[in-house]
Structure 1
Amino acid sequence: MKSAFILWRKSIFTRLIVTFLLIVSPIYLVAFLIYNWGINSVKEELEGTMKSQLSFYSSNLDTEIQRVNSLLFNTLYDSNLTDLANLISKLSDYDTYQSINNLQQRLLVLQNSNIYVSNVTAHIPSADMIVTSNDGRGPLEQEPLHYFNSAKSNSKSQLLLYKGDIYLRALLPLDINYRIEKKVHLLTVKLSIERIRAALGQLETRRDSGAVLLLPDNKMILSDAVDIEFASSLKNVLISRLKEAPSGTIVLENDKLQYFAVYMKSDYLNTALVQYVPMEALTEKAEQFKTLFLFFSLSAVLVIALYMLSAFKFIQQPMLKLIRVLRQMEMGNLNVEITHRRTDEFGFLFQRFNGMMKNLNQLIDQVYKQQILTQQAELRQLQSQINPHFLYNTYFVLYNMAMSEDYDNVKLFTHQLGSYLKYITRNAAEDVPLHIEVDHARTYCDIQSLRFYNRIEVEFGHIPPSCRDKLVPRLILQPVIENAFEHGISDMKSGGWLVVRFEKENDGFVIIVEDNGPSISEARVHELNRLLTPGRDDVSEITAIVNIHRRLRLKFGEESGLSFEVGDKGGLRVNIFVREQGAN
């Protein structure tokens, strides 16, 4: 799993996709930034529009109230009002009527000069009367007179709230106790809550939007569309925000809907004006940007998918074909061919690859045939290398037996010698079962035992049952034993010892030939192993052994062959490895 992940990570296809994504990512990032910029711009534009509307309405309201206050204070010094306040006892009834009538006309002009004014009242305690713009003369009421005389306003506009109505007042800058004691007159203007509410309705520019005017005593004037419960929640948040900043924005939720509000405080009136809209109003124009962005995103995904599909089809698939074929070649299958329908670069490459594999197979076939011929020649060389000393000594032994009339051993000896020569000279099979090769080696050892009677002991181990019928190249064991006799134990007067044993391994078996000849050094063993290295020319000393080594490697692979080491009794040990996994 880990190797597959590493291969995928290092794949050309992966790098192409990553490169393409690295190219597309900045473009997509720019589009995303433009999308966010567009949405923020729309929100900022709508927020700016709401602030402009709110600022205009608030400024207009301040201006209107300032103008009313200015007219109100001018009327405070009107001659008709001062005559009624100071000279009422000296005026005739006609003069009194005329002054009241003129004063009412003056108050009516003030009322009509502003849409927010519903009534103007002159309180004249010295004459025990009031004069209003709507009703003219009336009786003086002490309760409102006392309130307007003593009430303190927190605003520069002298805005007051009395019994649920909104008033402006104008009075002389005298001490309150003096005004009450001397019965100094004053003026009040009643503002129309309905007209203010109607004006607030002009700020309802969208469905479910509204406006609220927060008065100094935290009472509210609501536009027609405002829900009272929602307005109460808005008021609580607004009071908290006004402590932090005189203007700003609010986001609040009502009935699982979010609202965006802009508020602004009037220092002159000591009021706060709030306009709110549903949050979706901020995003309804941004939805166009969102739609475009989603379209761009889907287009980008489609382009990436098409690119990945094209890259996989035109690049990755041909590469996978090549990789699969190369892996088959690693496993030893050279009869491979890559089919490719398109006439592109990969088509040219695969066509040349198929031609190369065809030529390679032809060359391998030629080399293989040459190796077979070489192996046969080496086998014939081994067959022809019958040691003349061996024949001379064998015939001498046979002569002695005949002279001593030991006819039983003569029969046995000649039979063994005949079998030996037949195996050497007339057996045409290149491969033989292991037990037949071992029987031939036994025959050779039996002949040598008669020659070296009571001087050399030969032991053969048991062949593992699973290995008895394994085919091995002919003459791989007897020449090794012959080498042990010739160079190891032939000169020993007594106590000579030679053993041949077999060991089964997971991937084959080992034939071990060991003697107790003269002690051999590690340096000499190293030199003998070095002579087995391919390409060596100085191997005349052990030509037969080298031929066996090469034949085994040719037959069973590079892991098979011969190796030398120091035996347990100081002599030479030869290991003949046969690895079945590499068999050809």
Structure 2
Amino acid sequence: MKSWKAWAKLHVYQKVIFVFVALVIPYSLINLWMNLEGQKYVRGDITDSTQSNVNFYSRQLDDQMSFIRNLQLQLLNEPELQKLNFLGKQINEFDSIQLVNRVRDRLIANLNSSDYLVNVGVYIKSFGRTISTQSGITPVPNAEYDVVAGYSELQPSRPLYYRDGKLFFLASANNAAIIAYFQLSVPRFEETLRPLVDRYGDSGALLADDTFRSRISFKTKDEVVKLIGDRIDAKMPDQPDASFTVRSGKQTYLVTNSRISTLGLTLFTYLNQNELTGQLRTFNIWYIVLSIVSIVIIVLFSFSVNLMIHKPLKRLIVSFKILEADSLIRSTGIRPNNEFGYLYRNFDQMVQRLKLSIRENYEQKIALQHSELKQLQSQINPHFLYNSFFNIYMICRSGDMEQASEMARRLGSYYQFITRSGKDEAHLVDEYRHALDYCEIQSIRFSNRIEVEADELPASCAAYEVPRIIVQPVVENAFEHAFENGRRRGHVYVRAAFENEVLRISVEDDGGGLQGEALQALQAKLAHATEAHEKTGLINVGRRIRLKFGETSGVFVSRSEQGGLKAEIVIHFSERGY
């Protein structure tokens, strides 16, 4: 739930970017998965191909060695060789030469049958000599005899004999009375191993026995060979893994092997994986480049969305907020030739139309206020003027010239303020003095039966301008409605306060006042004073104040603590309605 609220608070451009990233990430992950799976498949193919190549060469070697081994076994069964062994040193010289020559011919034929042979020979114990293609007929002991002297017939499963860098096939017959030895060409083995690893720089091949001590190698590194030997020792020697990896420093090597049963050896090759999968690393680099490019595209897309959508939209929203704050001065001032340009132009046109409408409406309201004021001035009660003159007459008859003079002065000041033409506004001090003049006139009229207590107007607000004739009608309402019978004594209290740019002038009386539903009806009318059609009295005053100073200002009525009605004028000068 919280995540949805957080999503709802995001800006439009942020949501667009999130959606874009949400679409790009699965694509990137699928691409990464396909790349990894492809690399895995290619590595498997390379490993299988390398293993197949090793198996192929090992089978070729096995076939060659099987052929040589069969030649050796056939040699041991040659009649001339058996006869020579049987007669031994008792044979005459003529027969000896004939038999030896035939044996040599057979040895030479065996030598020429395979490129892997460099020397073919036999040792005949009873004859006391060795016969070979290299040394001919040589009495023992000699160098070739030393090779076969350590041969044990108890180890027929190990026909291969490695000594002093030379490799021999050994086989015996007649309880080791005849030993055939075939010397294999180590360089030829190396030539056979060359095609396996020659195309790679960091690679090598070797033939090793089960103990991994006797071996023929080509292009090998000692540290890698040692790692292979350690791995073989850790496994069953007769069950090595078909392929495995070893790590030397920062390099990883793929090791493949294949058993050559005829030789009793295992063919090992190792290749640097970086050379095998070099192209795959290129794909990895391109994938990283693609990922970086994707990130750059996302960043550029974010900036472009922010520049082309968010900022123009934010500028338009700011303009709307300023307009919402009752300010019609601001204009977007931008005319791009796109969709936002269309919105900006129409926004400015709307603001201009609003300005025009408000100006027309304001001027109409001012004209209405002016006409209402003129109408109010024309509605001066002639009875008030008649009663005032009659009161002056009666005071003069009584001989109280000072009070008559004061009455005449107050009446003159009162009508001078009412009949003054020109401005529709007056300084608050003049408006307040006009209301007090009215209070004095009424006090004299009622023979001082109604006492008026009035506060001094705070000096800090004396110079403020207010609509004319807004205080006197409120005071007049107290005299006319609170003391309608004109017989009882009463009090009128006029209070003035000014604080935080808010003016409060209250008029209270201790008369009968309004009761119950009548008071509620008056309060309802004053609450909607701008909609009322009355042109005089409290409603008129309340409407004029609200049109001038806004909805928080106006006239408010309530029950007074003195027992009568309390009418309060409230003006917020900081919230002017124009």
Matching of residue 500 in structure 1 with residue 495 in structure 2: yes
Cα pair 1:508 1:578 within 8 Å, conserved: yes
- Equivalent positions of 1:344-493 (< 5 A) are 344-387=338-381, 390-391=384-385, 394-395=388-389, 397-426=391-420, 428-451=422-445, 456-461=450-455, 463=457, 465-488=459-482, 493=488
Q: Residue 148 of structure 1 aligns to which amino acid in structure 2? A: S
Shift of 1:42: 5.5
Structure 1 CA distance for aligned equivalents of residues 91 and 536 of structure 2: 162
Shift of 1:370: 0.6
Query: Structure 1 residues 33, 525: closer, same or farther in 2, change over 3 A?
Result: farther
Structure 2 CA distance for aligned equivalents of residues 547 and 582 of structure 1: 20
Q: Residue 497 of structure 2 aligns to which amino acid in structure 1? A: F
- Equivalent positions of 1:236-247 (< 5 A) are 236-237=230-231, 239-240=233-234, 246-247=241-242
* Aligned-partner SS, 2:191: helix
Structure 2 CA distance for aligned equivalents of residues 119 and 242 of structure 1: 35
Structure 2 CA distance for aligned equivalents of residues 374 and 72 of structure 1: 136
Query: Structure 1 residues 554, 519: closer, same or farther in 2, change over 3 A?
Result: closer
Structure 2 CA distance for aligned equivalents of residues 460 and 127 of structure 1: 162
The corresponding residue for 1:549 is 542
* Aligned-partner SS, 1:262: strand
Structure 1: tracts of 5 or more residues without a match? 173-178
Matching of residue 558 in structure 1 with residue 551 in structure 2: yes
Matching of residue 264 in structure 1 with residue 261 in structure 2: no
Cα pair 1:198 1:223 within 8 Å, conserved: no
Structure 2 CA distance for aligned equivalents of residues 145 and 495 of structure 1: 155
The corresponding residue for 1:79 is 79
The corresponding residue for 1:62 is 62
The corresponding residue for 1:139 is 140
Query: Structure 1 residues 102, 323: closer, same or farther in 2, change over 3 A?
Result: same
Query: Structure 1 residues 122, 332: closer, same or farther in 2, change over 3 A?
Result: same
Q: How many residues align?
A: 564
Query: Structure 1 residues 493, 43: closer, same or farther in 2, change over 3 A?
Result: same
The corresponding residue for 1:215 is 209
The corresponding residue for 1:576 is 569
Provide, for residues 438-464 of structure 1, a one-character-per-residue CA deviation record: whole Å limited to 9, x for no partner.
333333333344445665554444655
Query: Structure 1 residues 273, 477: closer, same or farther in 2, change over 3 A?
Result: farther
Shift of 1:534: 4.0
Structure 2 CA distance for aligned equivalents of residues 550 and 241 of structure 1: 105
* Aligned-partner SS, 2:153: helix
* Aligned-partner SS, 1:148: coil
Matching of residue 149 in structure 1 with residue 153 in structure 2: yes
Query: Structure 1 residues 521, 230: closer, same or farther in 2, change over 3 A?
Result: farther
1:250 paired residue among 245, 252, 268? 245
TM-score by length of structure 1 reads: 0.78
Q: Residue 369 of structure 1 aligns to which amino acid in structure 2? A: E
Matching of residue 195 in structure 1 with residue 188 in structure 2: yes
Structure 2 CA distance for aligned equivalents of residues 533 and 270 of structure 1: 115
* Aligned-partner SS, 2:364: helix
The corresponding residue for 2:3 is none
Structure 2 CA distance for aligned equivalents of residues 274 and 22 of structure 1: 50
Shift of 1:374: 1.3
Cα pair 2:453 2:491 within 8 Å, conserved: no
Query: Structure 1 residues 463, 149: closer, same or farther in 2, change over 3 A?
Result: farther
Deviates more, 1:517-526 or 1:77-86: 517-526
Deviates more, 1:31-40 or 1:265-274: 31-40
Q: Residue 525 of structure 2 aligns to which amino acid in structure 1? A: L
Shift of 1:218: 1.7
Deviates more, 1:407-416 or 1:46-55: 46-55
Structure 2 CA distance for aligned equivalents of residues 458 and 99 of structure 1: 169
Query: Structure 1 residues 185, 375: closer, same or farther in 2, change over 3 A?
Result: farther
Structure 1 CA distance for aligned equivalents of residues 294 and 193 of structure 2: 48
Shift of 1:369: 1.2
Shift of 1:65: 2.5
The corresponding residue for 1:176 is none
Q: Residue 59 of structure 1 aligns to which amino acid in structure 2? A: R
Shift of 1:52: 3.4
Structure 2 CA distance for aligned equivalents of residues 358 and 319 of structure 1: 20
Query: Structure 1 residues 371, 272: closer, same or farther in 2, change over 3 A?
Result: farther
Shift of 1:373: 0.6
Query: Structure 1 residues 142, 496: closer, same or farther in 2, change over 3 A?
Result: same
Structure 2 CA distance for aligned equivalents of residues 457 and 500 of structure 1: 14
Query: Structure 1 residues 205, 403: closer, same or farther in 2, change over 3 A?
Result: same
Query: Structure 1 residues 476, 401: closer, same or farther in 2, change over 3 A?
Result: same
Structure 1 CA distance for aligned equivalents of residues 210 and 314 of structure 2: 81
Query: Structure 1 residues 143, 20: closer, same or farther in 2, change over 3 A?
Result: closer
Deviates more, 1:266-275 or 1:15-24: 15-24
Deviates more, 1:436-445 or 1:122-131: 122-131
* Aligned-partner SS, 1:263: strand
Provide, for residues 544-582 of structure 1, a one-character-per-residue CA deviation record: whole Å limited to 9, x for no partner.
323233222322233333334445556544443333343
* Aligned-partner SS, 1:476: coil
Identity across aligned pairs (percent)?
29
CA RMSD of aligned residues (A): 4.3
Provide, for residues 505-537 of structure 1, a one-character-per-residue CA deviation record: whole Å limited to 9, x for no partner.
3x6444444445558778766543322344887
* Aligned-partner SS, 1:264: strand
The corresponding residue for 1:106 is 106
Structure 2 CA distance for aligned equivalents of residues 111 and 488 of structure 1: 151
Cα pair 1:107 1:120 within 8 Å, conserved: yes
Structure 2 CA distance for aligned equivalents of residues 524 and 273 of structure 1: 119
Shift of 1:207: 2.4
Provide, for residues 213-267 of structure 1, a one-character-per-residue CA deviation record: whole Å limited to 9, x for no partner.
443212374655333234323443465477896222425243x4x2341312416
Shift of 1:125: 4.7
* Aligned-partner SS, 1:149: coil
Provide, for residues 363-398 of structure 1, a one-character-per-residue CA deviation record: whole Å limited to 9, x for no partner.
332212111111212333443444556556545544
Cα pair 2:50 2:256 within 8 Å, conserved: no
Cα pair 1:259 1:276 within 8 Å, conserved: no
Query: Structure 1 residues 376, 267: closer, same or farther in 2, change over 3 A?
Result: farther
Q: Residue 330 of structure 1 aligns to which amino acid in structure 2? A: E
Shift of 1:490: 6.1
Q: Residue 553 of structure 2 aligns to which amino acid in structure 1? A: S
Cα pair 1:248 1:263 within 8 Å, conserved: yes
Deviates more, 1:543-552 or 1:279-288: 279-288
Deviates more, 1:320-329 or 1:36-45: 36-45
Structure 1 CA distance for aligned equivalents of residues 520 and 208 of structure 2: 108
Matching of residue 281 in structure 1 with residue 313 in structure 2: no
Structure 2 CA distance for aligned equivalents of residues 119 and 312 of structure 1: 86
Q: Residue 248 of structure 1 aligns to which amino acid in structure 2? A: S
* Aligned-partner SS, 1:285: helix
Q: Residue 11 of structure 2 aligns to which amino acid in structure 1? A: K
Cα pair 1:88 1:96 within 8 Å, conserved: no
